[in-house]
Amino acid sequence: MLSPPSAEGGADELPGAWPPANAKPLDVEGFYEQATAAGYAYGPSFQGLRAAWRDGRDLLAEVALPEAAGDHDGFGIHPALLDAALHALLLADRFAADSDAAEAEQLWLPFVWNGVSLHATGATTVRVRLTRHQESAEGERGLRLVVADAGGASVLTVDSLTMRPADADQLRSVGGRDTGGLFTLDWAPLPAVPITMQDDDWVVLGRDNDHPDLTALVAAMDGGTPAPTLALAYLPAVREPADDDLAAGATEGLTAVEHALQWVQGWLAEPRLADARLAVVTRGAVAHAEDDVPDVAGAAVWGLLRSAQAENPDRFVLLDTEPDPHTEATHRSVADAVARAVRADEPQVVMRAGQLLVPRLTPARRASHDEPT
């Protein structure tokens, strides 16, 4: 989100002679070749650094939008131009003749942008001033960024850009894996941790026993029943649509999501349940094996609940049980499984053949040229 331009920020911040008389030039010849050899592969669209200087503690740069970046129409400032505005940092810290040896093995990555104001659009060649702030106790580095056009008129100002350190060797090793930078979702076993929920700590919602819905639970608490530590919410079963009935499948999915949304909203609205967890139990919503076909309605519910988990940490757990209704887990085993997941700080778990599995990202195996993609 852009900040409104301030009166000071809108002024011409880099007017006059360029570069300033006391600025010391940095050698940019071969910079992108050096960067590529070191593991930082800037494609043709991002090779915009044309000149750089040191001016006291500040860094100055001249950046032009490469032809390979294409048309700049539609951008306040072209992303490739803004990216190249920071390349002087890498040049000065790693490849310049006066670089510090310790800095040469440290790569600083932009992390938090504050006070970003766009003053003009359409620039393709810009002047840049990077003013470094003191490094924080947390190891972060801050700077102010000023981007101006060839006449010194402000194009973009960033009041504070926080940089965080990254190890160059680690980034190179990640980039060098034979994965193309792609990852896949796998399900790994959750280490066994014996834990058993006490009978009075958990309740079942949406089934014949305990409470048929959240309203019934709230009514019971109004009558003096203590708030549970955990509630298992079994969504009502939906009709299984025919394989070729796409419209019916979409309708059933919408019905399931609407019902789950009612659970989520009602749970969050009840202050007496602020310290409790709602475990939404689905059946066959997750494709655990490669040939699994997930339940469409259940998969949609997982999508909704993942968003709810991100917005409300420690309030919801997702647990998917066996697709086969004849192997349905008991309420007790589901409650104990959720307790294990909570103990391990795992908000999403799958139960298959009595084993609990949790999601993990792993590097994808790159297919050979002979394999279909």
Same domain, 151 and 190: no
Q: What is the pLDDT of residues 167-185, one digit of tens each?
A: 666 665 655 555 556 888 8
Kindly state the percentage of the chain with pLDDT values over 70: 79
Question: CB neighbours (10 Å) of residue 282?
Answer: 26
Q: Are strands 49-55 and 58-64 parallel, antiparallel or unpaired?
A: antiparallel
Last residue within a domain, chosen from 151, 175, 199: 175
pTM above 0.95, yes or no: no
Residue 18 lies in a domain: no
Note whether 82 and 134 are same-domain residues: yes
pLDDT > 70? residue 24: yes
Query: Which domain covers residue 148, as residue numbers?
Result: 24-175
| Mean of the per-residue pLDDT values of the chain | 83
Q: Is the pLDDT of residue 9 over 90?
A: no
Could you read off the pLDDT of 184-195 as tens digits, one per residue?
Answer: 889 999 987 777
213 with 162, same domain: the answer is no
**Count of the separate structural domains present in the chain:** 2
16 within some domain: no
Q: What is the CATH number of the domain that holds 282?
A: 3.40.50.11460
- Specify whether 237 is located in the same domain as 279: yes
- List strand residue ranges (DSSP E) for the chain, in order: 24-26, 49-55, 58-64, 106-118, 125-132, 141-148, 154-167, 183-189, 202-205, 230-234, 277-283, 316-321, 348-352, 355-363
Q: Can you tell me the distance from the alpha carbon of 78 to that of 87, in angstroms, rounded to the nearest whole number?
A: 15
- Alpha-carbon Rg for the chain, nearest whole angstrom, is 28
- The 3-state DSSP class for residue 339 equals helix
Residue 148: give its domain's CATH number.
3.10.129.110
Per DSSP, the three-state class of 218 is helix
Identify whether residues 259 and 347 lie together within a single domain. Answer: yes
Q: Are residues 47 and 165 in the same domain?
A: yes
Final residue of a domain: which of 118, 150, 175? 175
